[in-house]
């Protein structure tokens, strides 16, 4: 049984996370965090803290499934409080073996619809590592503008200090 | 008795916060948060949550005193984890009655020294409300560049939607 806010995008199902998904989510976010090339999260963070960061109760979290297997996940939350609370923020991760299938695009498109339904009027990515060219190109295709460039803000494990981008779009 | 990391800047003393300062800090940050014009923090946040945000144990917090009275406060923390942990973030607030005395400048100068001593190599302000012209001008004078402009990112109580700026400098 799939839960509320489930949508089919082709064969792919995107639905809200349940407690039962935590193992599957950790199998996705664990390697991405340990690799340390795309997210500014401590590489040695514990499973528990990483899951709290990704699926915490003050945000929405979704998984994307294909053939019954969880292949990707994203969170959606407000980016700031007070006068900034009309802008949301998302993060997306795909299982390393499932990259290149367009799942990040499907998740982002889903998140743009969800954000609108939730009443947000803009979406902002605070920290897109500039060497993550695939992501930068994808967000640009999906209507995001580069609104900031943070010089040398990310210490890439292989490339050293590289810029990070702030990208945003209205909904 | 003033604590470690106390420095005199003219007659003004800046030192690390103690539990005893919480009432004085709330008298500063409470009105600024309730006013809602410069920080993207929920205006109805509780005293407890506001103090946790400002003085939390995973960051440094300082007060500035003049004539024995706490007139301002700032926090200093890393802005991101992982590959972003060489960049710090600060927030500064001054008691409404004590504005215009140069205390924000003194706190910022102090924070730049502290950040260097703590091993950070850059400082970034993530969300400077563009209508806060005094702050924008002061940070520029102190060496910060505008590295991003977030369109309509802040819903100002009197001005409506205004931009927010990302400002940063190396240390």
ipTM of the complex in this document: 0.91
User: A-B interface: how many C-beta pairs under 8 angstroms?
Assistant: 107
Whole-angstrom Cα distance, residue B44 to residue A127?
Answer: 28
What residue ranges do the domains of chain B occupy? 7-123
Whole-angstrom Cα distance, residue A141 to residue A164?
Answer: 18
Whole-angstrom Cα distance, residue B150 to residue B128?
Answer: 10
The beta-carbon neighbor of B154 closest among A84, A151, A156 is: A84
Backbone angles phi, psi at A40, to 5 degrees: -85, 65
Q: Distance (Å) from the C-alpha of residue B154 to the closest C-alpha of chain A?
A: 5
CB B82 to CB A153 under 8 A? no
Q: Which CATH number does the domain B7-123 belong to among 3.40.50.720, 3.40.630.30, 3.40.50.300, 3.90.1720.10?
A: 3.40.630.30
**pLDDT on residue B106:** 97
Q: Mutate which of B42, B44, B83, B147 to disrupt the A interface (most A C-beta within 10 Å)?
A: B83
Q: What is the pLDDT of residues B35-74, one digit of tens each?
A: 999 999 999 999 999 999 999 989 999 999 998 899 999 9
Q: What is the pLDDT of residues A89-128, one digit of tens each?
A: 999 999 999 999 999 999 999 999 999 999 999 999 999 9
**What is the 8-class DSSP label of residue A49?**
H
Residues in chain B within 8 Å Cβ distance of A40: 80-85
Instruction: Report residue B138 CA to chain centroid gap.
Output: 13
The beta-carbon neighbor of B42 closest among A82, A129, A157 is: A82
pLDDT at A73 over 50: yes
- Whether CATH 3.40.50.300 fits A7-170: no
């Amino acid at each position: 049984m799939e839960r509320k806010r489930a949508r089919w995008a082709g064969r792919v199902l995107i639905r809200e996370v349940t407690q039962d998904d935590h193992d599957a989510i950790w199998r996705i976010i664990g390697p991405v965090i340990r690799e340390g090339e795309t997210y500014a999260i401590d590489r040695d963070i514990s499973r528990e803290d990483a899951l709290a960061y990704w699926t915490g109760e003050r945000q929405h979290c979704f998984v994307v499934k294909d053939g019954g297997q969880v292949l990707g996940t994203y969170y959606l939350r407000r980016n700031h409080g007070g006068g900034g609370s009309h802008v949301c923020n998302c993060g997306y991760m795909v299982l390393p073996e499932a990259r290149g299938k367009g799942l990040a695009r499907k998740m982002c498109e889903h998140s743009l619809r969800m954000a609108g339904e939730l009443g947000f009027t803009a979406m902002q990515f605070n920290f897109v590592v500039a060497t993550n060219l695939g992501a930068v190109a994808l967000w640009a295709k999906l209507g995001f503008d580069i609104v900031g460039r943070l010089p040398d803000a990310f210490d890439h494990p292989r490339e050293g200090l590289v810029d990070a981008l702030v990208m945003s779009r209205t909904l």
